């Protein structure tokens, strides 16, 4: 009984701490890329998950751990954030011109975000992913030069 009470109490406190942290949900759009994006902030850091497609030919999932590098005071209203981070990503490509293959790799992220006074943020960032192809003869999955094209993010903060 004592163990059940401790587990229940710690679960409730963990959920309360999780819900006290700001989060955001939105989209990330770029050259041929459409993704659903989720951010979870913890102080001056955040974890971002992106799930979507590239040119509607592959499905991909990326997770990055990001640090806020700078918080410039460029405006009197809202907040600016310069951030960068690293993580992992992977997916599956079913391009008609090639055999289907999977891919996995290391992802980086560098971006600039503006959070309005109301619960909306706009960001521009790029997130390269470099790693091996799994199948289709192997090789390197890098999608040069597209990995260095920026994407626009629109997120609702809650």
50: closest CA among 41, 39, 42, 66?
39
The gap from C-alpha 144 to its chain's centroid, in whole angstroms, comes to 20
Reported as a single tens digit per residue, the pLDDT across 23-48 is 999 999 998 889 999 999 988 899 99
Q: Is residue 8 part of a domain?
A: no
Which domain does 79 fall in, by range? 23-157
Q: Which tops the pLDDT comparison, 137 or 87?
A: 87
Q: Is residue 123 part of a domain?
A: yes
The gap from C-alpha 141 to its chain's centroid, in whole angstroms, comes to 19
Rounded CA gap, 71 and 109, in Å?
17
91: closest CA among 151, 135, 48?
135
pLDDT at 31: 85
Q: Are 62 and 87 in contact (CB under 8 A)?
A: yes
pTM for the complete prediction? 0.82
pLDDT at 16: 46
Radius of gyration of the chain (CA): 19
Q: Is residue 5 part of a domain?
A: no
Residue 4 has pLDDT above 60, yes or no: no
Q: Is residue 147 part of a domain?
A: yes
Host H or E run for residue 14? helix 2-19
The CATH code of the domain that includes 102 is 2.40.160.20
Q: Is residue 132 part of a domain?
A: yes
Name the band, by pLDDT with cuts 50, 70 and 90, for residue 95: confident
Q: Is residue 94 part of a domain?
A: yes
Rounded CA gap, 102 and 100, in Å?
7
pLDDT at 14: 54
Q: Is residue 4 part of a domain?
A: no
Rounded CA gap, 42 and 72, in Å?
19
Q: Is residue 15 part of a domain?
A: no
Residue 127 has pLDDT above 70, yes or no: yes
Report the number of distinct structural domains present in the chain. 1
């Amino acid at each position: 009984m004592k163990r059940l009470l401790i587990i229940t109490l710690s679960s409730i406190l963990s959920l309360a701490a999780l819900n006290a942290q700001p989060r955001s949900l939105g989209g990330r759009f770029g050259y041929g890329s459409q993704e659903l994006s989720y951010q979870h902030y913890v102080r001056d850091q955040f974890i971002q998950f992106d799930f979507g497609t590239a040119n509607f030919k592959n499905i991909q999932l990326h997770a990055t751990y990001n640090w806020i590098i700078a918080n410039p005071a460029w405006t009197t209203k809202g907040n600016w954030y310069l951030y960068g981070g690293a993580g992992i990503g992977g997916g599956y490509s079913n391009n008609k011109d090639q055999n289907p293959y999977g891919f996995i790799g290391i992802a980086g992220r560098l971006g600039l975000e503006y959070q309005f006074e109301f619960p909306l943020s706009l960001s521009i960032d790029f997130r390269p992913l470099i790693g091996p192809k799994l199948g289709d003869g192997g090789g390197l999955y890098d999608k040069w030069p597209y990995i260095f094209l920026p994407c626009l993010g629109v997120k609702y903060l809650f």
